[in-house]
Amino acid sequence: MLKKIEAIIREDKVNDVKDALYEIGIMGLNMFEVRGHGRQGGIKLVGRAGTYQINMLPKIQINIVLSDHNLEAAIEAILDSAHTGEPGDGLIFVYPVDEAIRVRTRERGQDAM
């Protein structure tokens, strides 16, 4: 069975996360920038002119479609490599996937991964 991981992480952790995934044999992934916030609603900056709420922080979302046999190992690799212990370390979401198809070969399912 195929699953999709969406990992929303700090920009400066992207290379560590990629390296951690390669080490367990996960090569296929894509990423893009998102802006948002979690439960804290962003961060407050206090300056002489007043208090500013910066509530749309940039993060990188990494998407990985993979076999469910590799799912827990991939989650562990991301949790270890993306972690600082401070608020804003990010979130991992997992979704069901019905099908995957490689355009070059028309292979489907696990064979396409």
Ligand X SMILES: Nc1ncnc2c1ncn2[C@@H]1O[C@H](COP(=O)(O)OP(=O)(O)OP(=O)(O)O)[C@@H](O)[C@H]1O
Which one among 4, 16, 67, 73 touches its own copies, defined by CB under 8 A?
Answer: 4
Q: How far is CA 37 from CA 10, 22, 28, 89, in A?
A: 12, 28, 27, 11
Which one among 40, 45, 54, 111 touches its own copies, defined by CB under 8 A?
Answer: 40
Q: What is the longest distance spanned by two Cα atoms in the chain? A: 61
36 binds its own copies (CB under 8 A): yes
Residues that bind its own copies (CB under 8 A): 3-4, 8-9, 22, 27-41, 56, 59, 61, 63, 65, 75, 78-79, 82-104, 106, 112
